[in-house]
Amino acid sequence: MIIRQAEEKDINEILGLFEKLQINLNYSDNKPGFFKYSKSYEELKNFLNPYFFVAENQGKVKGFNLACSVSFLKNNFSNTSSLEKKFILKNVQGNYVYVDSFAVEDYSKLISGRVAEKLFNNLMNLSKKRNVSKLIGCVCHEPYYNSRSANCLVNNGFKLTNEIKIEDNILLGLYQKFLKK
């Protein structure tokens, strides 16, 4: 398994993972996934930056960590329609890296936990190297509590610091992890 910076050649496979992991708003099982994901090829291409990693195995993308620095977020999303990003830009202070999306192809396999750990470690190592003070990310709390994603963040040292209502029926938890120098 290789963890490396995402490239344009990876975008179709990343979009495929988003589609494979998409769940509907009425889903009640404990399956991890994405609600109403609307990133296009162009949006992902424009999101390419040093904090956007993929996990590759035998030439195939098996997971990704779509993240960016606060400066990248401000420069590229200051006029966004995303209520989540608007909230973060307005309310989160400091030098942080924003984790937009994080996915591993098959959570049911033990190897996936190791892939997720490697992706997180790469993100944390690069962030520390660049003197980033914290990582932030959001997880769905309502209408479906994404316990696997929340537990993954908590197990990696993140703490729930706020909740954000982004639509009438969608509540996100804002998680932060402060990095030690």
End-to-end CA distance of the chain: 28
Helical packing angle, 70-77 and 83-91, nearest 10°: 130
For residue 4, the model assigns a pLDDT of: 97
pLDDT in tens, 59-118: 999 999 999 999 999 999 989 888 889 889 999 999 999 999 888 886 555 455 688 888
Q: Which CATH number fits the domain that encloses residue 74?
A: 3.40.630.30
pLDDT in tens, 6-18: 999 999 999 998 8
Mean pLDDT of 156-175: 89
Mean pLDDT of 47-55: 96
Please give the helix or strand (H or E) that residue 126 lies within, else none.
helix 110-129
In angstroms, the CA 145 to CA 171 distance is 9
Inter-residue contact 14 to 44 (CB < 8 Å): yes
Domain tally for the chain?
1
Inter-residue contact 136 to 175 (CB < 8 Å): yes
**Amino acid at position 99, single letter:** V
The more confident residue out of 1 and 21 is 1
Inter-residue contact 72 to 132 (CB < 8 Å): no
Q: How many helices (H) and strands (E) does the chain have?
A: 6, 7
Rounded to 5 degrees, φ, ψ at 112 are: -60, -35
For residue 110, the model assigns a pLDDT of: 45
Mean pLDDT of the chain: 86
Domain that holds residue 93: 2-178
Closest CA to 104 of 7, 33, 5, 46: 33
Is a pLDDT exceeding 60 seen at residue 152? yes
Q: How far is CA 39 from CA 36, 83, 102, 133, 175, in A?
A: 10, 15, 13, 28, 22
User: 117 CB contacts (<8 Å, ≥6 apart)?
Assistant: none
